[in-house]
Amino acid sequence: MGSVAWRAKLIVPAGVALAATVLTLALAAPGAGAQPVAPAHGHGGGKTSGPKGDNGTVKIHNSTTPVTDPRNEPHVCVFYLDGFGFDPAQSVSWQIESWPPTGDRTVVASGALVLDSTGDGHTGDMTLQNGHYKLFWNFAGEHGFAKQKVFWVSCATATPTPTATPTPTVSPTSTVSPTPTPSVPPTSTASPSPSPSPSSPAPVPPAPAPAPVGGTLPVTG
């Protein structure tokens, strides 16, 4: 066998061995294959996708709902605003407008707060007149638009508790006996003295007969 042919046979196996070595190293390199999925982060629902600063979310919560609850509750009476998953210590300003069909876009409430070191924060409890509203949640470093939520305030009209009208207490009225009228003895009515009846005139005694002249008086007896 010539020297050229012998070298050719020697080079081919060497090339195959080199290729196999390179392939083995490539498969064993760090980072090859599928990458693990990063776990979700955030309280009550995780951070939303978006650029740094816009990756949080805000919810409308009934006053009795925990801050860790991820739900949004669009029908409330007493409520609060709950933001979470934003950047640490991010400043927030918010306002609520009355919204059609019941409102005219007038600002009815507003405020500001600083989120905590995990990007979470919430307002205190509040309430509004029954109607439709829209929340605008602005924050420092936002790249897009304010976070927005529409919701209804619907508080049941409290039925007034009927107040019993107290029956007036009437003090017994003491019966005053009328002062007796002093008895006045009946005035005796004097019978009128009978008017004297006209009587016949008293008989006039007859005049004595004249004595006869020169004679003796007659004896009467």
Residue 69 scores a pLDDT above 60: yes
Residue 6 CA: distances (Å) to CA of 3, 12, 14, 18, 19: 5, 11, 13, 19, 21
pLDDT band at 10 (very low <50, low <70, confident <90, very high): very low
Give the pLDDT score at 74: 97
pTM for the model stands at 0.51
- The more confidently predicted of residues 54 and 60 is 60
The dihedral over CA atoms of 44, 49, 51, 56, expressed in degrees to the nearest 10, equals -20
Q: What integer best gives the mean pLDDT of the chain?
A: 72
pLDDT on residue 59: 97
Per-residue pLDDT, 141 = 87
The answer to whether residue 200 scores a pLDDT higher than 70 is no
pLDDT tens for 11-46 read 445 555 555 554 454 444 444 433 333 333 334 444
Give residue-wise pLDDT tens across range 124-176: 999 999 999 999 999 998 888 899 999 999 999 865 666 656 566 656 555 55
Higher pLDDT, 86 or 40: 86
Strands 75-76 and 147-153: parallel
Residue 97: predicted pLDDT? 98
Topology at the third CATH level for domain 57-153:
Immunoglobulin-like (2.60.40)
d(CA 83, CA 119): 8
Could you give the 3-state DSSP secondary structure of residue 58?
Answer: strand
Question: Which residues fall within 8 angstroms of residue 14, CB to CB, at 6 or more apart?
Answer: none
Considering only residues 72 and 191, tell me which one the structure prediction assigns the higher pLDDT.
Answer: 72
How is the chain split into domains, by residue range?
57-153
Kindly list the distances between the CA atom of residue 114 and the CA atoms of 43, 123, 150, in Å, as whole numbers in the listed order.
17, 10, 23
DSSP 201: P
